[in-house]
Amino acid sequence: MSQAPRTQPKVAALVGAATLFALAAVGYSIFPRPAAEGVPDAARHVVYEVFGDGDVADITYTDDGGTHTAQEQNAPMPFRKEFRLEEAAFQVFTLSAQNAEEGPITCRITVDGEVIDETTSVGAWELALCSDSSM
């Protein structure tokens, strides 16, 4: 019996990650909370991190609370993306990273100094997927 090409796991992982991001973008709307009179809206400090044994990774993330997806192919490791996000009634945070080499790859999402998700996968073409939502 012949084996499937090595690219098949990569394609399946990318399709799975793209589906998750599409569901997050389509399924949720972001409604800003009304600010109390005289009090400015709060902003959240979001940090996405990817690290592991490899030199580069393919990384996909939402950077606006759930509706916009960005991708960075062959991003140098370790990867770190920081941004401020206005607090809303509902937010989705997603980060996925795919290894191009053997070894571990870890993704981590931190919001306001608190780690809200961290996942490690091991192996070539493995996908580490982190996500969380807040209401």
CATH number at residue 59: 2.60.40.2880
**Tens-digit pLDDT profile for residues 90-108:** 889 999 999 988 999 999 9
**What is the DSSP track for 36-57?**
PTT-PPPEEEEEEEEEESSSEE
Give the tokens for residue 115. 């780690």
| 130 — pLDDT class (breaks 50, 70, 90) | very high
Higher pLDDT, 108 or 134: 108
For residue 2, being part of any structural domain is answered with no
Give the chain's domain count: 1
**Cβ neighbours of residue 11 closer than 8 Å, sequence gap 6 or more:** none
pLDDT given for residue 70 in this prediction: 95
Q: What is the residue range of 97's domain?
A: 7-29+42-134
Is pLDDT larger for residue 79 or for residue 31?
79
> Rounded CA gap, 3 and 98, in Å?
22
Does 92 map to a domain?
A: yes
pTM (2 decimals)?
Answer: 0.69
Confidence (pLDDT) at 29: 39
**Residues whose CB is less than 8 angstroms from the CB of residue 95 and which lie 6 or more positions away in sequence, other chains included:** 48, 50, 59, 60, 61, 62, 107, 108, 109, 129, 130, 131
CB 86, CB 72: distance < 8 Å:
no
Residue 76 lies in a domain: yes
Structure tokens of 17? 């990650």
pLDDT band at 35 (very low <50, low <70, confident <90, very high): very low
Q: Which residue has the higher pLDDT, 65 or 29?
A: 65
From 29, 22, 23, select the one nearest 88 (Cα to Cα): 29
User: 50 falls in which pLDDT band (50, 70, 90)?
Assistant: very high
- Domain presence at residue 56: yes
Is 11 among the domain residues? yes
Structural domain contains residue 1: no
- Assess if residue 37 is contained within a domain: no
